[in-house]
Structure 1
Amino acid sequence: MNVLLGANAVAALAGIAFAVVGGVRPTALSESGTPTAGERFYGWMYATRGVPLGAAALVAPLAWSGPAGSLILCAAAAAQVGDAVIGVATRKWTMIAGASLLTSIHTATAVATA
């Protein structure tokens, strides 16, 4: 169980890190040269979703065992599924792999702590 909680913490921190990078340097994730106004806008939108959700996924299994913590982890997993689908649509294999791994970790932690 401790290994799973550790993996979940690493996954949550990775999600937070990518959200911050998306907000501060959106071109790092989009791989374009100069960020457009739309890239900056959506980068900040991603950050405002990803940072609080990642922080909740980090704290939830430690603070609330049972249904409350599992619900938060399921929400974090659902957001990662969305990121994986975006990765499929844009053919970004690293995004697909990373988001799929984080989905698996959050889901496994939700089941284990339910």
Structure 2
Amino acid sequence: MNALSAANAVAAVASIAFALVGGVRPAALSQSGTPSAGERFYGWMYATRAVPLGLAALFAPIAWPGPAGSLILSAAAAAQVGDAAIGVATRKWTMIAGASLLTAVHAATAVATA
């Protein structure tokens, strides 16, 4: 469980970091030249949801072991499934791979903490 907890922590921190990058520098993730006002808006909108969920996923196995923590980790895994689906739709292979890996880690941790 210690290795899984560590992997979950790394996954959660990575998710938080990418959400913050999306808010601060949306063009870094979208690979557009100059981000539009809408792109900046959606970058921050994504970050305001992903950062709290990432923090919850980071602390859930420790603070809420059992069903509550498992539910939070399942929600984090579901969010990553959505990110992977967006990656498929936009053909961003790094997004597909990263989100799929984070899905697996959060889901495995959810099962282990249930």
Q: Which TM-score applies when normalising by structure 1?
A: 0.99
Partner of 2:77: 77
Partner of 1:60: 60
Partner of 1:94: 94
| One-letter amino acid of the counterpart of residue 88, structure 2 | V
Output the aligned Cα RMSD: 0.4
Partner of 1:36: 36
Task: State the percentage of identical aligned residues.
Answer: 83
**CA distance in structure 1 between the aligned counterparts of 2:94 and 2:102, rounded to whole angstroms:** 12
| One-letter amino acid of the counterpart of residue 15, structure 1 | S
Secondary structure at 2:46 match in 1:
helix
| One-letter amino acid of the counterpart of residue 31, structure 1 | Q
**CA distance in structure 2 between the aligned counterparts of 1:96 and 1:49, rounded to whole angstroms:** 20
| One-letter amino acid of the counterpart of residue 44, structure 2 | W
Partner of 2:5: 5
**CA distance in structure 2 between the aligned counterparts of 1:48 and 1:35, rounded to whole angstroms:** 18
Secondary structure at 2:81 match in 1:
helix
Unmatched runs of 5 consecutive residues or more in structure 1: none
Q: How many residues align?
A: 114
User: Is it true that 1:47 corresponds to 2:68 in the alignment?
Assistant: no
Unmatched runs of 5 consecutive residues or more in structure 2: none
Where has structure 1 moved over 3 Å in runs of 4 or more? none
Q: How far off its partner does 1:17 sit? A: 0.1
Partner of 2:21: 21
Q: How far off its partner does 1:38 sit? A: 1.0
